[in-house]
Structure 1
Amino acid sequence: MKIVLVGPTYPYKGGGAQHTTELAHRLAAAGHDVVIESWRAQYPSFLYPGQQTIDAPEGEPFGNVRRELDWRRPDGWLRAGRRLRSADLVVLAVLSPVQVPPYLGILYGLGARRRPGATPRVVALCHNVLPHERRPYDRPLMKALLRRVHLVLTHSDQQSALAADLAPTPRRVAVMPPHLPARRDATGVSEEPPRVRNRLLFFGLVRPYKGLDILLRALAAGPPQVSLTVAGEFWGGLEETRELIAELGLTDRVELRPGYVPADQVPALFEQADALVLPYRSATASQNVWLGHEHGVPVIATRVGALADHITDGVDGLLVEPGSVEALTDALNRFYAPGEPERLRAGVKAVDPDPYWARYVETLLAP
């Protein structure tokens, strides 16, 4: 089968690019003719204020990539659509509603019609059907896209229901498979056996829905010997975070490392932590639980989205209700009870990605 994936890949960074790349590898390994139709310029900077590209790949790059799409060039969207007419399957990786205008241009050039048996078949692979922090144009844009494709693939039942509210298009659900940065290039990782360091880690893009403010308040009320590292890009709110840290008297206990963390620096960062904390107010599918477990670290997380699906409460991490400083404070106190960090770390097992990817590819390609 000739398959075209339209989405980010190296030199773009982050989970979306890693997922597109790994999906291309898995489809090619299954014997399909695969190309990634990627971006020369994906987003305007005012809509994506973080670092968009990286200098070194986070995994094995995919070989067959075209990088011609540009959010500023609608004529290129139409040309891309015409190129894709010879494909059997076109997969549109939907990371944000701001991608919809280019995708509608591609569909127009493709001449796609949402009728049974139409070729090529077009799938909207929705990482998020709608953003966590929404703008007025998000719903109408996503509605316009989802009504023009043959299938919507989401990563949870909740996201599938959200898609159903926007369009009557057929839907399928596939669990987001692991697509983690490689650990083999780790630098600065100690050979010493793990020990309790009285340090927690908040890792990844910092946005309001991820609840860093809740974690800071819980830290102030929790075990006084425990410190926190916050490592990741801030999409606004850095100065407000610094003010809250000072207000809570945590200046000596919180280390801020704003900015993107390259993949080869991630293992050393996790080695310094007793646990990864995910105090999210809301979530869809997240790789961060698996990322923590891949690095041998238990995870303290809220019961939102798919986070709880990958944690066995009291075995390889702790689960708490979202939005509650008191609940998270209690979890931190329980985690640092004598012997608990060591016991929970001993329960952590790295995930095997192959079964997840096999089911994911099967769901995507099913007639």
Structure 2
Amino acid sequence: MKIAILSPFFPYRGGIAQFSELLYRGLSGNNEVKAFSFTTLYPNFLFPGKSQYVPDNEYSDIESCRTLNSINPVSYIKTAKKINKYKPDILIISYWMSFMVPAYSSVCLMLNKQIKIVALVHNAIPHEKRVIDKPLTKLFFNRCDAFIVLSETVRKDVLSLCKGANIFLHPHPIYDNYGETIEKERACDKLGIRSDKKNLLFFGLIREYKGLDLLIEAMDHLDDSFQLIISGESYGDFEKYKKLIEKSRLKDNIKVFEQYIPDNMVATFFSAADALVLPYRSATQSGVTAIAIQMELPIIATNVGELGNSVKDAQIGVVAPTATNTDIAEAVLEFFSDEKKISIYREKIKEEKKRLSWKSFIQFTESSLSRL
């Protein structure tokens, strides 16, 4: 097959760009693949983080055709022309938020009719909802011939917006590009934190729906044997989290790395932890879960969206019944109360690691695309 992928790619950072790069590499084994990316993803005044780009010392050998500006209609025409010139059988478009709909829908409208359009949907409905999200998303979905989704929750969301949609579902594959884990003591030494504590890791972009405030408050229900590691850049003001930490009874046990975590440091943070905590208020699937499975780190999660089900069904950790600080604290205590269960979680994660490989996902994707 001849496949085009329209998505953020290097030098953009974040889970969507990383996922797209791994998808490109996987599909390139048996197909001709070309990457199309953005000249402007978000205007700087709309971007809540510090930077949209990876550091200068990071590198990718994937060459993408950077033509699409999310807010420039002239670029929509240019992008469609370049894709049409490439003459792909299939165009895969990474979708995660309605802000991209004007650009994506316009490009789709100008494509040659024989090109099949497949939306790879990371989120159909944003965690932080707005009135315009559903109408805009519906507009784009109606331009698509098929959908690839990574969770049952997203499958249902797509169907709610596009009745009778042709949907292919495969669980989120694990990331395999972060290197190997190291000993806990060595990892903690690199981070300058104590290794004799029960280390809880919060990892990834800090946004309201991810419930970091609930986890900080949960620390007040734990004893001095616990340590919380916060690692990731805040999308928005971090000040409210600082105030919660200052008020916490265990403030000296809360270690903050509020920054972009480069790929070569990811394994260090996961190696320093005894459990990953996902105190989310809402969720579909989580890319951070996929990293934890790669690193063979058990998970403590809230029972929201597909998150709780994925942890319970795979038996890879403990699930808090609700997204409250008390339930999260109780789930943490339950997790550490039985060493035998922790060993079982680790063994089950190894099984998930095999099931959710990129090889499996690529085979599934190629099989799905061949049926269009």
Same structural fold, with TM-score higher than 0.5 when normalized by the shorter chain = yes
Is 2:147 the partner of 1:152? yes
Cα separation, partners in 2 of 1:90 and 1:339, compared to 1, 3 Å: closer
State the distance in 1 between where 2:311 and 2:262 align: 26
State the distance in 1 between where 2:303 and 2:369 align: 27
SS in 1 for 2:91: strand
> Which moves more between the two structures, 86-95 or 336-345?
336-345
Which residue number corresponds to residue 207 of structure 1?
207
Matches within 5 A, 1:97-246: 97-110=98-111, 118-168=113-163, 170-180=165-175, 182-184=177-179, 197-246=197-246
Which residue number corresponds to residue 288 of structure 1?
288
Cα separation, partners in 2 of 1:296 and 1:126, compared to 1, 3 Å: closer
Cα separation, partners in 2 of 1:156 and 1:94, compared to 1, 3 Å: same
Which residue number corresponds to residue 359 of structure 1?
364
Cα distance, 1:47 vs structure 2: 3.0
Give CA deviations for 1:244-292 in whole Å, capped at 9, x if unaligned: 1222333212112111100101111122211110111211121222312
Cα distance, 1:147 vs structure 2: 1.4
Give CA deviations for 1:56-98 in whole Å, capped at 9, x if unaligned: 687x845342112222431121121122222211111112111
Q: Structure 2: which 5+ residue stretches go unaligned?
A: 188-194
RMSD: 2.9
Q: Structure 1: which 5+ residue stretches go unaligned?
A: 112-117
Cα separation, partners in 2 of 1:106 and 1:300, compared to 1, 3 Å: same
Cα separation, partners in 2 of 1:187 and 1:46, compared to 1, 3 Å: farther
Alignment check: 8 A CA contact 1:202 1:230 kept: yes
| Richer in helix (by share) | 2
State the distance in 1 between where 2:184 and 2:69 align: 39
Alignment check: 8 A CA contact 2:278 2:301 kept: yes
Cα distance, 1:188 vs structure 2: 9.6
- Aligned partner of 1:311: which letter? V
Cα distance, 1:340 vs structure 2: 5.8
Cα separation, partners in 2 of 1:76 and 1:199, compared to 1, 3 Å: same
Equivalent pairs, count: 359
Cα separation, partners in 2 of 1:230 and 1:172, compared to 1, 3 Å: same
Which residue number corresponds to residue 66 of structure 1?
65
> Which moves more between the two structures, 287-296 or 91-100?
287-296
- Aligned partner of 2:33: which letter? V
State the distance in 1 between where 2:198 and 2:5 align: 44
Cα separation, partners in 2 of 1:196 and 1:346, compared to 1, 3 Å: farther
Cα distance, 1:342 vs structure 2: 5.8
> Which moves more between the two structures, 297-306 or 48-57?
48-57
- Aligned partner of 1:357: which letter? I
SS in 2 for 1:133: coil
- Aligned partner of 2:261: which letter? V
Identity of aligned residues (%): 28
Which residue number corresponds to residue 49 of structure 1?
48
Is 2:266 the partner of 1:266? yes
Give CA deviations for 1:330-367 in whole Å, capped at 9, x if unaligned: 11112233646863565342713122332233224422
Cα separation, partners in 2 of 1:316 and 1:143, compared to 1, 3 Å: closer
Alignment check: 8 A CA contact 2:128 2:209 kept: yes
> Which moves more between the two structures, 311-320 or 34-43?
311-320
